[in-house]
């Protein structure tokens, strides 16, 4: 008996020695991990405002459900309970737990984001029967006006494993949402903020007992846009039910007041886990709602390009502004005949009337004298064929062809007939609406091409991180008197009786502008036209209008593109006219209000 007692006693001592000395540190860590949980506190993402400090994007509370794998007592029972209470698929939860529990058994695993009020009430009511389950309140992005300027503001998406491993997102963890597009992506690190955390003591069932320590999160920086909410809303209304783009900017500094692309999308859809079918519908849509047509949509400019050709002709001394050219409605070169949009012709026209009434024959002849490479030289000088360096990036440069470009690209020489088409903005020429707005601004502001910007300020609390300042990219090296001739002609295009842009006319100020009709050329279109049938919408021409106001003291430049809209004068000019009238009326009201305040 004594021997048995001694053996048992020695065994107990050895066991205690093993547990306390050899395994002590390991079990101490496990004990602390069971007793103390580190709870993450994500920061509030910075808010986004318009140019008048009106709130566009803020945050709202999101009730997210997590599970701590180590605290689960009966996994099968838990999965069935969650399925019964909130219809959470057991296989989905099991997959997440299997993946994470091996690496992070003590870390909370996000199982369901943004619980509804009903789901939250059911979980809270049955909390004591769900060991391992915890609810965290986290900020969730809220785009207040839904489909308002989504291509500028952007949207969020869940961070993936590759991004987490890249080291570019030090403040983000699995389950976080980061900027995927627009302002949200470009200023991700500033908007994100710095996360905080809590040390929480829990009981054996994982229930919270007390907070041991807390490090508060630091909210992200706020951003002010150059966008004017009312102008943006008006631009989007003008595109309602149509595919196209509108850009409105300040010609004196490049600040973008409105940037609308249609069709648009609701960035709130991307906040939660977007339904796969819904995502497929968005990305596979033939209308490409995620594409920002203002900076990435590349279109033939049509007759708007005549501004460049006219400027090139004047600068090269190839035309006298008063010299007339006869237009009988067509121009023949070799075996091919090129028609003017007015089949009966314009008669004798000089430069002014050629721009006012958009005579094609005048520019066919001028373009042929200039040649492709000289036209390309002036187009490049006006900012076409290169990116405008938009401050959010992703802008495209379009295409201004040259004889060398075609030879390199296609292996065949440039044809004279292609110059004829190029002189009225057809052939291979491609531009974006933003480029057109920058170009018309340069013509009327004295020749300065400014970098277009949409960020006005970025502030961390009251401390400014960034403040807008104009960036002049280049100056048009042209004679001021030649710019004046172009400006007078574009004013006539809106205000003279036969001007093609008269639907943008204003009774209060002198508006100047240029219409354009960019042909959509396909064999199917030609077949339907010859048969005398009605053209489907997809075969109709694109409608352009660029405008500026007031002519002698420009404060607003506008470029409007309506895909398959037909004629620029009837489809695009009214949209630009409405924007100009609304903007100038607001300016006048503001001036009156300021006088009253003084």
Give mean pLDDT, residues 386-392: 91
Distance in angstroms (rounded) separating the CA atoms of residues 43 and 196: 7
Please report which confidence band the pLDDT of residue 596 belongs to, taking 50, 70 and 90 as the band edges. Answer: low
Say if residues 306 and 365 touch (Cβ distance below 8 Å). Answer: no
Give mean pLDDT, residues 458-477: 94
Helix (H) or strand (E) holding 354: helix 351-356
Question: Average pLDDT of the chain?
Answer: 89
Helix, coil or strand: residue 142: strand
Q: Could you tell me where the beta strands, DSSP code E, fall in 276-335?
A: 325-327, 330-333
pLDDT at 523: 43
pLDDT at 595: 56
Distance in angstroms (rounded) separating the CA atoms of residues 414 and 157: 46
What are the catalytic residues? 303
CA distances from 175 to 27, 83, 400, 587 (A): 30, 21, 45, 46
Question: Looking at the predicted structure, is the pLDDT value of residue 417 above 90?
Answer: yes
Whole-angstrom Cα Rg for the chain: 33
Interacting residues of 304 by C-beta distance below 8 A, sequence separation 6+ = 425, 436, 514, 515, 516, 544, 545, 546, 568
The vertex-318 CA angle with 314 and 324, nearest 5°, equals: 90
Distance in angstroms (rounded) separating the CA atoms of residues 275 and 283: 12
Interacting residues of 67 by C-beta distance below 8 A, sequence separation 6+ = 78, 93, 97, 108, 109, 111, 132, 133, 134
pLDDT at 204: 62
Q: What is the pTM of this model?
A: 0.86
Domains of the chain from N-terminus onward: 35-225 (3.90.1310.10), 229-264+290-591 (3.40.710.10)
Per residue in 213-222, pLDDT (tens digit) is 888 999 999 9
% of the chain beyond a pLDDT of 90: 60
Scanning the structure block, which residue is given the tokens 């809270």?
124
Please report which confidence band the pLDDT of residue 134 belongs to, taking 50, 70 and 90 as the band edges. Answer: confident
Question: What interhelical angle do 360-370 and 306-315 show, nearest 10?
Answer: 50
Please report which confidence band the pLDDT of residue 257 belongs to, taking 50, 70 and 90 as the band edges. Answer: very high
Q: What does DSSP assign to residue 43?
A: P
Distance in angstroms (rounded) separating the CA atoms of residues 235 and 54: 18
pLDDT at 33: 59
């Amino acid at each position: 008996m004594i021997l048995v007692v001694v053996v048992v006693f020695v065994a107990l001592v050895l066991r205690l020695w093993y547990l306390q000395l050899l395994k002590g540190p390991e079990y101490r860590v496990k004990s602390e991990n069971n007793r103390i949980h580190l709870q993450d506190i994500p920061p509030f993402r910075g808010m986004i405002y318009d140019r008048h400090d009106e709130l566009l994007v803020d945050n709202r509370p999101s009730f997210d459900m997590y599970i701590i794998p180590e605290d689960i007592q009966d996994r099968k029972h838990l999965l069935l309970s969650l399925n019964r209470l909130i219809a959470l698929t057991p296989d989905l939860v099991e997959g997440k737990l299997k993946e994470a529990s091996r690496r992070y058994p003590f870390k909370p695993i996000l199982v369901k984001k943004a619980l509804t009020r009903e789901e939250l009430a059911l979980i809270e009511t049955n909390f004591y029967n769900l060991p391992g389950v915890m609810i965290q309140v986290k900020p969730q992005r809220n785009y207040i006006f839904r489909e308002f300027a989504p291509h500028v503001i952007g949207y969020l998406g869940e961070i993936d494993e590759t991004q987490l491993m890249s080291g570019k997102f030090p403040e983000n963890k699995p389950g976080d949402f980061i900027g995927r597009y627009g302002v949200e992506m470009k200023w991700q690190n500033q908007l994100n903020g710095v996360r905080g955390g809590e040390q929480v003591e829990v009981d054996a069932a994982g229930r919270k007992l007390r907070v041991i320590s807390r490090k508060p999160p630091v909210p992200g920086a706020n951003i002010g846009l150059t966008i004017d909410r009312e102008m943006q809303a008006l631009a989007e209304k003008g595109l309602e039910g149509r595919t196209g783009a509108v850009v409105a900017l300040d010609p004196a500094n490049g600040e973008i007041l409105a940037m609308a692309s249609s069709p648009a999308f609701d960035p709130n859809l991307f906040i939660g886990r977007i339904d796969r079918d819904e995502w497929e519908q968005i990305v596979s849509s033939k209308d490409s709602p995620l594409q920002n047509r203002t900076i990435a949509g590349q279109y033939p400019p049509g007759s708007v390009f005549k501004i460049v050709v006219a400027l090139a002709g004047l600068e090269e001394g190839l035309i006298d502004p008063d010299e007339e050219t006869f237009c009988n409605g067509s121009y023949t070169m070799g075996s091919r005949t090129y028609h003017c949009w007015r089949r009966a012709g314009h008669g004798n026209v000089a430069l002014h009337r050629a721009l006012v009434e958009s005579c094609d024959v005048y520019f066919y002849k001028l373009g042929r004298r200039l040649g492709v490479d000289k036209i390309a030289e002036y187009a490049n000088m006006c900012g076409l064929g290169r990116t405008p360096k938009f401050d959010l990036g992703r802008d495209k440069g379009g295409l201004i062809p040259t004889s060398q470009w075609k030879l390199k690209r296609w292996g065949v020489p440039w044809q004279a007939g292609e110059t004829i088409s190029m002189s009225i903005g057809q052939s291979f020429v491609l531009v974006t609406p933003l480029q057109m707005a920058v170009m018309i601004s340069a013509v009327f502001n004295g020749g300065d091409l400014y970098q277009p910007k949409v960020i006005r300020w970025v502030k961390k609390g009251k401390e400014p991180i960034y403040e807008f300042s104009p960036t002049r990219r280049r100056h048009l090296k042209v004679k001021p008197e030649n710019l004046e001739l172009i400006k007078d002609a574009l004013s006539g295009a809106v205000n003279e009786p036969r001007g093609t842009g008269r639907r943008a006319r204003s009774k209060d100020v002198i508006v100047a502008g240029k219409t354009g009709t960019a042909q959509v050329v396909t064999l199917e279109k030609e077949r339907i036209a010859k048969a005398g049938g009605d053209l489907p919408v997809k075969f109709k021409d694109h409608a352009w209008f660029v405008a500026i106001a007031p002519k002698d003291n420009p404060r607003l430049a506008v470029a409007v593109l309506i895909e398959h809209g037909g004629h620029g004068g009837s489809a695009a000019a009214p949209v630009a006219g409405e924007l100009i009238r609304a903007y100038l009326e607001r300016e006048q009201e503001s001036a009156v209000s300021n006088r009253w305040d003084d």
